[in-house]
A and B are shown apart, each in its own frame.
Chain A
Amino acid sequence: MSLAYYPGCSLRHSSAEFDRSTRRVLAVLGVEYEDVPDWTCCGSTPAHMMDHLLAQALAARNLRQASEVGDELLAPCPSCYQREKNAEIEIHKSDEFRAEVNEVLDKPYTGHVVVYALPEFLIKFVGEEKIASSVKTDLSQLRVVPYYGCLLGRPSELTGECDNEQPMMMDLILQAAGVDVKWWNYKTECCGASVGMPKMEIQRRLSGKILDQALAAGADAIVVCCPLCHVNLDLKQAQINHYLGTNYEVPILYLSQVLGLALGLSADDVMLNKNVVDPEPLVKKAIAAAEAISAEEQRKAAEKAAKSAAREKAADVEAKS
């Protein structure tokens, strides 16, 4: 399988840590890929808010570029993923629409590229068993809630999730990686990203609720898989606090960062230093706590073994005498 990788605009700068950690995780899991040659912006929210054909044509251009590499496209950013997936479905379904799109492209798109988001790709092509068997660092003391946002779960017919309201792919991956995943009801609540700049009140209120609910669920951090959710919850956390009069300090980690740590990558490998709310103390504490617990368990097991050995010896002596 030749996999094409579409980083997208956000992953170049504002979420460089998502890009780096995803690439590292793919390397550890032995997934080979090639970047889409000369990719351009997928159009994101503004394109499909302005014109349907514009949105589909911008996405189709990238599908055409990806078809030079192979028939599978991985788009870690869910916004890119939704745009590319939408175009894929509509273009592959109707030759008439494909012709309409090709009319505005410089070179026609004739391929059949299938688009995957990161959780979907990991579940389908790597699998939970492979992830679980590759775990190097014990993260069982890291309490998190997975936050899917809008684009990874909805609509489930498109994303391949089991349910609109309760997507599970990130839960399954994190559980396979040995992380303590908490159950909560805000998995798919919107963070307000698409009008975050023109109408910030929406973003402040929605993102504030998500932070509040994560803490209520007993989590110490939120795991996301979307650069826009990350900007809203992490970079804008100080603004949310200012607007709502709260003092949240919740680290927001990317799925690929947590997975990378579990697979034995270092904090530098997954660029924990790029997160605005510093996650390093929490991660260190969780790893140390897990180590202390396993050391304690080992000590207890050794003690138990010593005791039973002593008992056996005593029984032997008794039997002989």
Chain B
Amino acid sequence: MIRYDADQAAAYRAKLLDRVQADVRDCYQCGNCTAGCPAAFTFDYMPNQVMRMLQVGLVDQVLDSKAIQLCVQCLTCTARCPRNIDIAGIFEDLKTIATAQERGVPEHVKTFNEAFMGAVARFGQLPELYMMAMFYLGTMNPKMAMADAGLAIPMVIKGKMQFVPRKAKGADEVSRIYKKTMDKAKAREKSEAKARAESLKANVAGGSAAAQKGEVPA
């Protein structure tokens, strides 16, 4: 059974209003975002479905979905939305929230992002070959590495590969920025989750107290 959650809907509407300046309530389900989305054929929920799910508070399903992870951030949906909702911005923000909540996200997007940022934090500038190696190690899927191994040949022939990564001068600062910001985001999500759990507890307690008195909770 699908349970709609008005509390979650209100909480995430406020959160997205604050962070992306986009109101999910504006969506009237015209489907323009889905029609123009080049990656929707790999999604589990279409962009307009995601918008509806946010409206009714099915936030956990959205945060665990493939859709927000596989969004290519081409911004076509945002450009074409007749209600001027920044849909790609919402997808981006939900992705960052899923990251900060340390959810086990589907597909290899998280592996890629972590390989990329890990390499950048270590060397300051992106060492492409090193990043690719870390990514394929992270996926634990030799098939994927084999599919792209063919790319190495033209890259080597054309002299487009840097074999030994070099540390750029600002690398230490980059690594500090990476750590500080991710710690901050994780702490924020933890404290929000805690506050939400407490208010839920208080509601339940209040509800049962009211029930004992014979009142119907609103």
The chain A residues found within 8 Å of chain B, CB to CB, are 9-10, 12-16, 38-41, 43-54, 57-58, 61, 65, 104-106, 150, 154-156, 164-165, 188-190, 192-195, 197-202, 205-206, 235-236, 238-239, 273-274, 276
Query: Do A276 and B158 contact each other (CB < 8 Å), given the known contacts A38-B169, A150-B73, A195-B72?
Result: yes
Identify A14's interface contact among B93, B144, B160, B180, CB under 8 A: B160
A15 to B: closest C-beta gap in Å:
8
How many angstroms between the C-alpha atoms of A193 and B173 in the bound complex?
Answer: 28
Report the interface size for chain B: residues with CB under 8 A from the other chain.
61
For the residues of A in contact with B, the DSSP-based class is: helix
* Interchain Cβ contacts under 8 Å between A and B, 30 examples: A9-B126, A12-B162, A13-B160, A14-B155, A14-B160, A39-B170, A40-B124, A41-B174, A44-B116, A46-B116, A48-B73, A49-B73, A49-B96, A49-B99, A51-B100, A51-B182, A57-B177, A58-B174, A150-B73, A154-B75, A188-B76, A190-B74, A195-B109, A198-B108, A198-B109, A198-B135, A199-B42, A200-B148, A239-B147, A239-B150
Q: Which residue of B lies closest to A197 (CB)?
A: B112
Which of A39, A47, A206, A239 has the most CB atoms of chain B within a 10 A radius of its CB? A47
Which residues on the A side are within 8 Å of B113 (C-beta)?
A: 46, 49-50
The chain B residues found within 8 Å of chain A, CB to CB, are 19, 38-39, 41-42, 70, 72-76, 78-80, 92-93, 95-96, 99-100, 107-109, 111-113, 116-117, 120, 124-126, 128, 132, 135, 144, 147-148, 150-151, 154-155, 158-162, 168-171, 173-174, 176-178, 180-182, 184-185
Which of A43, A193, A198, A238 has the most CB atoms of chain B within a 10 A radius of its CB? A198
Taking A150-B76, A164-B79 as known contacts, 7 extra A-B pairs with beta carbons closer than 8 A to each other, sorted by chain A number, are A41-B125, A46-B112, A61-B177, A104-B177, A197-B108, A198-B109, A274-B160
A280 to B: closest C-beta gap in Å:
13
Q: Which residue of B lies closest to A37 (CB)?
A: B169
How many angstroms between the C-alpha atoms of A96 and B39 in the bound complex?
Answer: 36
Contact between A190 and B72, CB atoms less than 8 A apart: yes
Contact between A38 and B79, CB atoms less than 8 A apart: no
Which residues on the A side are within 8 Å of B185 (C-beta)?
A: 51, 53-54
How many angstroms between the C-alpha atoms of A65 and B125 in the bound complex?
Answer: 14
Contact between A104 and B112, CB atoms less than 8 A apart: no
